[in-house]
Amino acid sequence: MKPAPEPRFARIAAMIGDPTRARMLAALLDGAMLTAGEIAQSADVTPQTASAHLAKLLDAELITLRVQGRHRYFRLADGDVAHALEALSVVADKDVDQQPGRRMWSRDAMQPLRHARTCYGHLAGHLGVRLHDALVERAVLVQRDELYVLGEDGQRWLASLGFDATTVSASARGMAYPCVDWSERRDHFAGPLAVALLDHFVVDHWLTRIGDSRALAVTPKARRFFDDLSIAHA
């Protein structure tokens, strides 16, 4: 009997599972762009060893390289890679005071990401969870089975923010649905409505991206809105 083909994720799992490469990826998880020397120091290896591992991570498309002058900067390839590493960290940290992910999210460098970040194009982190709760409490979104639909006044309430919900088309999974937040261990919401709403917040300068990372910050223009929802501060 011919053996089943190796799952496509096996190569990626092996790449991540190497202790040295795992330390390198962990150093990049906060969205920072680091030089090879900084990554080598974080992983406690020689520059030569770091160079060999970075080449493998680049080949696997887990990281990207940006050359700026004489400097070479490395970062995680995209949000999908970061999301996968966050999920693995939650599983790995389950033995720490029964608080999944506690060690990773308690790091100072992770606090901007924990407060607010993008997750597959929608809002996540403390801000995302509190926004989810506020919209549910105000019946802007109403849960039906595993999905959310707009409440009776939901469209009108969103229109007061300058957001036209009628332009959002539902996907096969619906317009909005719950998504477990890795840092908060509660639901934020995902789906076409959540993606469009985050785009609106960014385009209208209510939220701004922090550097090249997935972290987001509330602007002075929108602070009153978020304060009124009691979701502006961690």
> What's the pLDDT tens digit per position in 105-118?
666 667 778 888 98
Quote the pLDDT of residue 159. Answer: 94
> What's the pLDDT tens digit per position in 190-201?
999 999 999 999
Query: Mean pLDDT of all residues in the chain?
Result: 84
Which residues belong to CATH 1.10.10.10 in the chain? 9-77
More confident residue, 207 or 42: 207
> What's the pLDDT tens digit per position in 43-68?
999 999 999 999 999 999 999 998 87
Would you say the pTM of this structure is higher than 0.75? no
The pair of three-digit structure tokens given for residue 202, joined into one six-digit string: 């960014």
Q: Which residues contact 179 (CB under 8 A, 6 or more apart)?
A: 119, 120, 122, 124, 187, 188, 189, 190
CATH number of the structural domain 9-77: 1.10.10.10
CA distance 160 to 35: 45
More confident residue, 56 or 182: 56
Residue 92 has pLDDT above 90, yes or no: no
